[in-house]
Structure 1
Amino acid sequence: MDCSAFDLGCYIDWVIEEIKLLFISFADQIMSSIAGVFESIPVPGFLQNIGAFSLSSDILYFTTLFQLPAGLSLVVSAYTARFILRRIPVIG
């Protein structure tokens, strides 16, 4: 930004940007500390060997063939939209 030494508007813009960066840095520190707390929680014992319980390759082949994840997301979003629309008094 090209500003002169006595340009008050440019100085105010700089101060506003610095305040924004301060708040962003503060929010980043808070989110990082929350993530650190969640990462410090130990994994429960019954989830230690969860990798052994996976679907076979035949089942995974058919789920990708029938595009099951996309279909399930469409169904869940449709039910969610229906639930929200039913709460509106005029429409529902």
Structure 2
Amino acid sequence: MLEDLGNFIMNILLWLYEQVQDLVQWFFDGLEYLFIELILSPVLNALASLLESIPLPDWFTHGTVSVGSAGYFIAMAEVPAGITMIISAYTIRFLIRRIPVIG
């Protein structure tokens, strides 16, 4: 009899705990919604409109880039070919290290 009463009280307390937990979760979900809708959304919209108001530079809209004398030295030093070789070397090194016997 006493054991049944203890189980009954324990079940009521567990139910009450779950209800309080659901209420707290509902409250924090509401706060999260309010924060996103009332604070974060207007700030992000204002930031987006600010970034959209910045005009594009002329070189971007025309599609050409004039690098002046630096372009000449980049072409003479074969920088694009060098970058390709470096990336290829790192890729081969990565693949060789994956081979169990060699790497």
- The TM-score range, normalised by the shorter chain, is 0.3 to 0.5
**TM-score, reference length from structure 2:** 0.38
Which structure is larger by alpha-carbon Rg, 1 or 2?
A: 2
Using CA pairs under 8 Å that are at least 6 residues apart, name the structure with larger relative contact order, 1 or 2.
1
- The structure richer in helix per residue is 2
